[in-house]
């Protein structure tokens, strides 16, 4: 059960975070192929390709920025893991749209399909990034909060670096659309399991119980072991004897 395995929960969330940032590196990893996609679907000149490739990235960022405060507000009135599961499900659907745009060929609507996928991807990631870092901080033991958050955030540079190479390799091989489809296939089970994550209190119950036992035992230890006098106090006590 996940309730008794906080390390498994941390690994589960870190993998999702890694794939999140891997997804962000796919487009920068294959600029030539995405530029060709823009020219084929929209009929623009090569000098204008970067404008539309940049538009797809902007769509992600704008939707991410808009959805973040909305998700943060919804957590106050809705179960957090329901929002997380829905957000990840939206993200998986967005990956499918982005991948299917590649197989639409040079149809005029292919770029709009891709743009919609990138925009929805920002919505899905916003739910994850709003909910998960505070959740990790809540269930991590006090002595290991920094380590747990460091492991979780290590997925950002690692995932981005993997995404560049992942996107480049698939763009040179079967096609960049497969990068998004493979990400969607990998993340679909994670999205389903996100609905069933245990509350932070269940994961931190054992460390809390241990801490309460130590706190209760502290007065007894103080009674059994009187404090050792300092050298100055010992000399003063000896000199005071008749």
Distance CA 101, CA 38 (A): 11
Q: In this model, does residue 110 exceed pLDDT 70?
A: yes
Q: Is the pLDDT higher at 17 or at 75?
A: 17
pTM exceeding 0.85: no
The yes-or-no verdict on residue 212 having pLDDT over 80 is: no
Confidence at residue 241, expressed as pLDDT on a 0 to 100 scale: 53
Structure confidence at residue 228 as a pLDDT band (50, 70, 90): low
Assess whether pLDDT exceeds 50 at residue 135.
Answer: yes
Q: Report percent pLDDT > 70 for the chain.
A: 81
Report the pLDDT value the prediction gives residue 239, as an integer from 0 to 100. 53
Cα separation, 130 vs 199, in Å, equals: 16
Share of the chain above pLDDT 90, in %: 63
CA 19 vs CA 95, 109, 135: distances in Å: 11, 27, 19
* DSSP 3-state percent helix, strand, coil across the chain (nearest 5): 85, 0, 15
Q: Which residue has the tokens 């955030």?
A: 153
CB atoms within 10 A of CB 50: 13
pLDDT digits (tens, 9 = 90+) for 151-191: 999 999 999 999 999 999 999 999 999 999 999 999 999 99
State the DSSP H helix or E strand holding residue 176, giving kind and residue range, or none if neither.
Answer: none
Residue 138: which pLDDT band, with cuts at 50, 70 and 90? confident
* pLDDT tens digits, one per residue of 60-99: 999 999 999 999 999 888 888 999 999 999 999 999 999 9
pLDDT score of 6 more than 50: yes
Sorting pLDDT into bands at 50, 70 and 90, what band is 46?
A: confident
- pLDDT given for residue 67 in this prediction: 96
């Amino acid at each position: 059960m996940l309730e008794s395995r906080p390390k498994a929960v941390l690994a589960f969330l870190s993998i999702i975070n890694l794939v999140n940032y891997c997804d962000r590196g796919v487009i920068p990893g294959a600029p030539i192929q995405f530029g060709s996609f823009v020219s084929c679907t929209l009929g623009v000149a090569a000098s204008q390709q970067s404008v539309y490739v940049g538009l797809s990235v902007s769509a992600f960022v704008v939707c991410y920025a808009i959805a973040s405060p909305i998700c943060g507000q919804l957590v106050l009135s809705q179960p957090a893991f329901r929002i997380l599961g829905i957000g990840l499900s939206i993200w998986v659907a967005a990956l499918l749209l982005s991948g299917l745009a590649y197989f639409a060929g040079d149809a005029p609507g292919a770029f709009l399909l891709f743009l919609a996928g990138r925009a929805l991807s920002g919505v899905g990631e916003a739910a994850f990034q709003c909910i998960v870092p505070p959740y990790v901080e809540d269930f991590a033991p006090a002595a290991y909060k920094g380590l747990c958050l460091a492991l979780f955030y290590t997925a950002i540079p690692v995932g981005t670096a993997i995404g560049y190479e992942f996107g480049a390799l698939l763009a040179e091989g079967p096609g960049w659309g497969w990068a998004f489809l493979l990400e969607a296939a990998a993340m679909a089970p994670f999205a389903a399991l996100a609905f069933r994550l245990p509350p932070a209190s269940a994961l931190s119950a054992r460390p809390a119980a241990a801490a309460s036992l130590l706190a209760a035992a502290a007065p007894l230890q103080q009674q059994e072991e009187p404090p050792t006098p300092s050298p100055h106090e010992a000399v003063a006590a000896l000199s005071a004897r008749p």
